[in-house]
Chain A
């Protein structure tokens, strides 16, 4: 189980990395921690034969206080969040999520930016960042742009990143102290990808409810959130939720629906 041959590049600057990514186009892959990409390469399931190592770029390691939000570099590892070495503007939600990603050695290398760029439908960071209404900062041949998480995630392993673009980090809004968050993951064993992941972020009358592990990408459940905030009776919230989940879950799968309903209801319970 060894990867196909590839060329390895380790640009010294972000600009150089973007040049390489643009030059090689679809055959290029950026690698930082490599904890999701390398398994695919070892299985020869990755089409890239130009590997651009961005793991040492200082720009991706930064954190900055932006006032209402915090900039978190794409190269920060899960373990940095788990250990409190990276700021958590979400009152502990990011730390909680980080500590439940895969295994310790993987968390020591896997990065928040890599996880989002990989866009696995069951991954933690896309769901958490979507629930936090974060935005990705992206640098590419045409300069920098800011993409809201909802616009970044387009499908299973796909994002709206253009050729040559690299996620440099995320702007994550600071949650007020009285905000409530919950993170409910159901998986077959500790460290396995989520069979269902529910994340809720509530600030007073604003609730963002996200489901991952269902359908092609993490999804906002706006109708359910609205029904809950409006004070709808439990059965009615549940029915709205069932309706939203049914739209996401592929084919006729009562178990999957029941599972997602269960994790979301628990996430709601925790922020009630």
Chain B
């Protein structure tokens, strides 16, 4: 059951009136005279709080984002009024009759231009359009002047949407009996959303219950509190009947969480033999009009800069980062957060240097990758790469893809035949980062632990409640596997529960590739405590010494006999007279978990892709895609494969298909799947995956996260492959998605340059 499937008596639908212009002063909102009480504007709520959002840094400027527009509108699609009716169609009819008057202002649509003096500003009290601007510098900065060789390039990863197939949804009603607001919400973390909702609505948290039923994908997009969600709850408190808002696809593409939109202006310094020395330049993140609660998109810039050295040994880093407000929908996290952009920039740069020096890109990587013997290796940006063998990963991928066969094919190509190219990208994926990392980032909410409640019922069956939120990751399977391992029972005897603040312990939810490390750890350590108590009771019932018994197959065994968990659980729950003297009844523990070191552990991998490029049309076809990856211990290899393949599918979307372009007035030009290209089974190949396992040293079972890695490297690998196909004319492909038009235009420009150069020589 998804949010849109929730049925409550008296439920009515909400449709929003949205801004048709990107930037303007809201002069008036006129409600239809005969339906005034069914239309809500911000003026109807005098008790709503506007939440501070973004990192808790003085330098981070606040962009107050009211539940419904107040004073100004700052992007096309911003919600201005909410209309309530018995069906969504009728609510939309009503919305059409609301008259909105806006005094249009010039739109800010380019993050780089937005930082130029004289640019129109989104927030009048800001000195410029930056939410925050920071310079990150580390290492031997003298290198930048002393370096023997340098190359300057500009990269751009364009804006797109998160596109969970189930779109957002809220069903809210006031439960008069319990005196609480019940909110069914499609979210990645109900507990944190309750915190935000309670604050925004001015309710105590114990009067807000958030239920996330089945959640149809999130990918980061459902890990922020959006104004519509607050507005729907506020309306529910006013109207006295349940209300719902089910986002439609146009709303999703217009006004839900957007992502990427990175601009890089970089210079890389290197030795003549290809040894990388350092990287410097500017990174602009087009963050849209507002910071979303709780943490906005501020991590994009710092993580992009921090991940620029990637898996390579470098000695210096100096990056000016700008997180810029523009008249576009607010940006939020999306699978891979910042790293797809950083990986694209550095991996393209590696290939550009290789091209420049005439080195095989594979060799170039071999020369610069951190070695196994150097682990743990602290990158110049300060990330501690903990375990793994990056060289082996590259070699494995190279073997899988067969470089020499492709090189042969390229040599034998006849004119008129499609071009073929091979591309590599190596990535790292930080996961399991806790207090150290998040407080360093000045996060408003510090997700430094997860919790689990493990309970054995009187019949010996087990319920486990967790604070993470499965939305496709298969937690019912993996968490049950972990508990089964600790408890010595079959996973089928364990039910995993999540998604209801009334029945689960506080937790932060599922994002940042964190669930297997944190929730897996919490389930593991808590189950272990339960197992120990079970063992003690078992020993007592067997009249054996505690150290002489062990757990096996749902029973406690001594040398002379055994007692089943059913009997033990019965004693603990309903027959306390059978317990050891002084032991507390119940078989229930709630525990939390954070890895021993909380700076994070790093999964990594190499993507290798072969593409065919049609020179005449610019069309790119993937011929082969191979991955070698290492995410530490795998609890469930099938789920790991699913995460890798699924992540790559999204990365291919970023690399080749998905984009929301804007015109100069700030109008988005892709608002349906007619214009927004979503790859299907005909576009996404089956990826060949090789695993190696280097267990993490600081997590339970040696696990590392795997959710995001797949999405990080594809844009880089694809662009490198396309560039490789055009090696002879030195074309650069530095902007995603690599649409046929972009590919053709870049190739054409390179060929024109080459012809001009040939003419000059002649």
Contact = CB atoms under 8 A, between A and B. Distances in A.
B387 to A, nearest CB: 40
A258 B740 contact: no
A258 B614 CA distance: 12
B6 interface: no
A3 B616 CA distance: 41
Given A186-B619, A189-B683, A1 B248 contact: yes
Given A254-B748, A258-B616, A262-B616, A190 B682 contact: yes
Contact of B250 (A3, A43, A261, A263): A43
Interface in B65-103: 87-89, 92-93, 96
A189 B679 contact: yes
A1 B744 contact: no
Interface residues of A, number: 25
A193 interface: yes
Given A188-B677, A190-B680, A255-B745, A195 B740 contact: yes
Contacts of B682: 189-191
A58 interface: no
B543 interface: no
A5 interface: yes
Contacts of B657: 188-189
B739 interface: yes
A192 interface: yes
Contacts of A1: 92, 248-251
A259 interface: yes
A4 B748 CA distance: 47
Contact of A5 (B88, B93, B672, B678): B93
A255 B744 contact: yes
A93 to B, nearest CB: 22
Interface string A243-272: 000000000001100110111010000000
Contacts of A263: 617
Contacts of A265: 616
Given A1-B249, A255-B618, A262-B616, A190 B683 contact: yes
Contacts of B92: 1-2, 4, 44
A189 B616 contact: no
Contacts of A188: 657, 677, 739-740
Interface in B443-477: none
Interface string A81-102: 0000000000000000000000
A259 B619 CA distance: 10
B680 A191 contact: yes
Nearest to A186: B617
A259 B93 contact: no
Contacts of A2: 87-89, 92
B674 interface: yes
B485 interface: no
A127 to B, nearest CB: 18
B251 to A, nearest CB: 8
Interface string B237-254: 000000000001111000
Contacts of B616: 258-259, 261-262, 265
A44 B671 CA distance: 14
B11 to A, nearest CB: 16
A35 B696 CA distance: 53
B372 interface: no
B741 interface: yes
Interface in B636-682: 657, 672, 674, 677-680, 682
Contacts of A196: 617
Contact of A259 (B248, B617, B678): B617
A195 B678 CA distance: 16
B327 to A, nearest CB: 23
Contact of B680 (A3, A43, A189, A255): A189
Interface string B346-362: 00000000000000000
Contacts of A192: 677
Contacts of A195: 740
A258 B680 CA distance: 27
Interface string B723-748: 00000000000000001110011001
A196 B614 CA distance: 14
B744 A259 contact: yes
Nearest to B741: A255
B93 A4 contact: yes
Nearest to B737: A188
Contacts of A193: 674
Contacts of B87: 2
A2 B614 CA distance: 40
B419 to A, nearest CB: 14
B669 to A, nearest CB: 14
B545 to A, nearest CB: 68
A58 B14 CA distance: 42
A143 B263 CA distance: 62
A269 to B, nearest CB: 10
A190 B748 CA distance: 26
Nearest to A3: B89
Contacts of B677: 188-189, 192
A44 B88 CA distance: 13
Interface in B287-342: none
Interface string B7-43: 0000000000000000000000000000000000000
Nearest to A190: B682
A189 B652 CA distance: 13
Interface in A166-219: 186, 188-193, 195-196
A263 B674 CA distance: 22
Interface in A127-185: none
A258 B752 CA distance: 15
A225 B96 CA distance: 50
A134 B661 CA distance: 39
Contacts of B683: 189-190
Nearest to B744: A255
Nearest to B15: A2
A156 to B, nearest CB: 15
Contacts of A4: 92-93, 96
Contacts of B674: 39, 193
B161 to A, nearest CB: 16
A263 B616 CA distance: 9
A225 to B, nearest CB: 20
A272 B710 CA distance: 45
Contacts of B93: 4-5
Contacts of B88: 2
Contacts of A255: 618, 740-741, 744-745
A134 B672 CA distance: 33
A265 B614 CA distance: 14
Interface in B205-256: 248-251
A192 B748 CA distance: 25
A196 B88 CA distance: 38
A5 B89 CA distance: 8
Most buried by B among A5, A188, A261: A188
Contacts of A259: 616-618, 740, 744
Contacts of B680: 189-191
A192 B683 CA distance: 12
A1 B674 CA distance: 15
A78 B248 CA distance: 29
A71 B640 CA distance: 56
Contacts of B740: 186, 188, 195, 255, 259
Most buried by A among B87, B250, B679, B744: B744
Interface of B: 87-89, 92-93, 96, 248-251, 614, 616-619, 657, 672, 674, 677-680, 682-683, 739-741, 744-745, 748
5 contacts: A2-B87, A3-B89, A43-B672, A188-B740, A193-B674
Q: In the A-B complex, list the 10 residue pairs whose CB atoms are closest, starting with the nearest.
A: A2-B89, A262-B616, A190-B682, A1-B248, A255-B741, A188-B677, A262-B617, A189-B683, A255-B744, A186-B617
Given A1-B249, A5-B89, 6 more contacts: A4-B93, A192-B677, A195-B740, A255-B740, A259-B617, A262-B616
